[in-house]
Every structure is written in C-alpha cells, then in structure tokens.
Structure 1
Amino acid sequence: MSETGTEIETPHGPARVYRHEAERPRALLQLGHGAGGGFGAPDLIAATEAALAAGVSVAQVEQPYRVAGRRAPAPARQLDAAWLAVAGQLRGDELPMLFGGRSSGARVACRTAAEGGAAAVLCLAFPEHPPGKPERSRQEELDGVEVPALVVQGERDPFGRPVARGRTELATLAGDHSLKADTAGVARVIGEWLERTLPVL
C-alpha cells in the first residue's frame, strides 16, 4: 500500500489523505483513525484490505491535529469540519461514498454521515461510553445514522457495546478495544457486510 499522502486544506489546517485504489472500484471508503493512533492499527489495516478485496477504494484521512504533530485530539466540531472538507474534495465521481473510522474516527463518521452524504457507515470499536462511565453514553451518535451501518466491537471492550438499531448491524469479536485479537474476523465481517450492502446503495 502506498505511503505517499496528499494534503487537503480544511478550516483547521491541512489533513493528509492516503489513497488505496481498488482495481475496479464499486465505491470509495473515507476512513478515519482513532484519537491517539494512526493507520498502523491492526483493525484499520484489516478494514482497508477487506475493502480493497471487495472492490472498494480507500482514502485514509489523517486529521489536521495529527498532521501538525499534536497528540491531543481536536474538539469534535473541528474534527467533523475537517472530515467534511476532505469529503468534499474526494467526492469527484458517481461512486457511492462510505464513511468509516476507528473509535473517535467512528464517531466522526456517524456524526457527519448525513451532511456528508455517506451511503453507508463502518464503525470499528465504537466508543459507546468512556471506560467505567456507562452513564455518559454516545449511543445517540450511532442512532443518528440513517443509512446502512456496521459496528465491529470487541467483546471485552472497556468502552462498552452499542445497541444496533434501525439499519445498523453489530458484529462482536474476541478481544478488546484494539480489535487486534481477531483481525481475520474483522476483515471477514467487513467483507461480508460490503458484499451485502454495496448492491443496494
């Protein structure tokens, strides 16, 4: 996979996009990282490979705060604005566009799906609540997604387990928030979901 990124200007500084092209693309997946990690995360590697195998090109989006070398994530509104700015630049053909991400990136994908015109949403390790604080639920972000969505969650994730409602599916795998215990499972459930979902987009 290419490691050459392209910078795209956003209202909060440049984001960096790493493109991975499927041979005969059926869709484009805009994929976001977690709050403190990059695209070396095992589940993001598995998701990218599964998407490419299903004929879905992938645009991995590095948020401006990470491009600038900061560790602490930007506020949600800045993350969302930067994400949508990138989506506006990437949307150049008639292929369906999917939003996806890991942890914090999954939340961004959910919050922006409607405004960004996403045809489907992929959530890896959706952080349902902060560890030990189930009363601080983020379920409403997932419930706001009106297009087909897949949540891939570790069965021992300290960030909890969201509820699948509407057009959302939940796949629970062995492991914790990292989803690295069963990367083959991550790739499998994503591939199966894409094969079910793409024909109806």
Structure 2
Amino acid sequence: MTEIETDIESVETGTGEARVHWHRAPKPRCVVALSHGAGGGIGARDLVALAGTLPAAGVSVALVEMPWRVAGKKVAPAPKTLDAGWRDIWPVLAKPGLPVVAGGRSAGARVACRTGAELGAVAVLALSFPLHPPGRPEKSRADELLGAGLPTLVVQGGNDPFGKPDEFPEGDHRLVEVPYGDHSFAVPKRAGLTESEVLGRITDAVAEWIATPGMLSTRPVL
C-alpha cells in the first residue's frame, strides 16, 4: 500500500493567511492543486477522495484552504479577491518543480479557469463548474470555461442545478458526467450507485485524464 506523506503549509497572501494541505506521492510526476467552493471547504467528498487516491498514481494533491475560509468567514469574497489570493498561493504549489494542474470545485473551478494559463498550469480540473446560478441560465459563465486556454476536464453532476452536462457549450474541454449527481455529487437512491462508486467514477476519470499522453507537457495558449 502506498504511504502518503501529509503536511500543512501556511501561506501569507495579500488577502490573508491560506493553508495548503499536502498529500504527497512517494514519487510524484505532477501536482494537482484544488481549492474549495464558495460555500464549503476542503472536506468536500470529491476533494477528499482525490487526495486519498491520486498519490498512489504518482500525483501529489494540494488541497488549498483559501484565506476567507481560514479566517472563519462564511461567505466568499468577490472573484477578483479570490483570484488575487490564488495567485499569491501559486508559488508554493509550483515550488516542488513539477507540472501543476490547477483545479477546484465550483467557485474554485472558476478561479482555476481564469488564472491557470497566466500562472503556468499545464491543465485545469473543474469539479462541479457553476455554469450559471440556479434557475438563471442566461447568467452564463461559459466564457470563463472556454477561455481557460488549457486542456480542461469538467466533472459534472447530471442534476447539478448550476449547470447540467447537456447545458455546457461545445469546446476543447472534456466533460465527464456523474449520473443523477447534484452540485456536491450526492445521488438519489434511484441512481443505484453507492457513494463509494460515485467517488470511484470521479477519481478514475481524473486519473485517466492526467495519464493522457502529453498532458503534463502542455503549454498554455496565451
């Protein structure tokens, strides 16, 4: 069984203290950096599952607690402030000298899409990308996703009120659907899937995507 080295690194940013929770692979070939959503933390089931499984595949995972969350606030700040904090955290994520996949869930996915190319990420992982506010499809954020300029994997619940898979525009991104899943990838009993099976689909899809030939040598399109 692969032993995962874990540690917590504090990072001072222009918007407050952040924390990077490292889950290090014994022989890492890349880092996947994931921040949380606007209403939750790094304890989200998908983030925990990825941190627990990817290191065995040679992928170190950095779960990032954004400054507003470390400060105990319940509401995330404006996108510009989120982006500023992420930029200040990035040097710590890149410090191991490995290719970095920028990612996150919900609001964290938006940050990764907006900043990944400029920061030198090799790809973007978008978990539960909030394509629009619930019930407001006209308020589309598709431009953020389509403008990432990097190979992008979207993992989306089939019943996500922030955007169902069939609402997503065509583009260079790859989309993996979690059948019946909501914004947190919870599924109803009628789905016939256990929580572990759902999380397995997510982690398998991410691991296979990262293993795509040439993925880790991608350069951003600026």
TM-score computed with the length of structure 1 as normaliser: 0.93
User: Which residue of structure 1 aligns with residue 186 of structure 2?
Assistant: 180
- The aligned counterpart of 1:108 is 111
C-alpha spacing 1:2/1:22, structure 2 compared with 1 (3 Å): closer
Does residue 88 (structure 1) correspond to residue 94 (structure 2)? The answer is: no
- Cα–Cα, structure 1 residues 6 and 137, in superposed 2: closer, same or farther, change >3 Å? same
Whether contact under 8 Å (1:158, 1:177) holds in the other structure is: yes
TM-score (ref. length: structure 2) = 0.85
Q: Which amino acid aligns with 1:157?
A: D
Q: Would the alpha carbon gap of residues 25 and 40 (structure 1) be closer, same or farther in structure 2, given more than 3 Å must change? A: same
Note the 1:21-32 alignment, pairs <5 A: 21-32=24-35
Residue of 209, 212, 216 corresponding to 1:193:
209
What is the root-mean-square deviation in Å for CA atoms of aligned residues?
1.7
How many residues get paired? Answer: 200
Name stretches of at least 5 consecutive residues in structure 1 with no aligned partner: none
1:67 is matched by which residue type in structure 2? V
Deviation at 1:145, TM superposition (A): 1.2
SS at match of 1:14: strand
* 2:16 pairs with 1:13: yes
Give how far 1:54 is off. 2.3
Task: Identify the match of residue 40 of structure 1 among 43, 46, 52.
Answer: 43
More relative contact order in 1 or in 2 (CA 8 Å, sep 6+)?
1
1:4 deviation in Å? 4.9
Tell me the percent identity: 47
Q: 1:60 is aligned with what amino acid?
A: L
| 3-state SS in 1 of match to 2:212 | helix
Deviation of 1:48 (Å): 2.1
- Corresponding residue for 1:171? 176
The equivalent residue for 1:118 is: 121
Q: Which moved more, 1:127-136 or 1:141-150?
A: 141-150
State yes or no: 1:154 paired with 2:157. Answer: yes
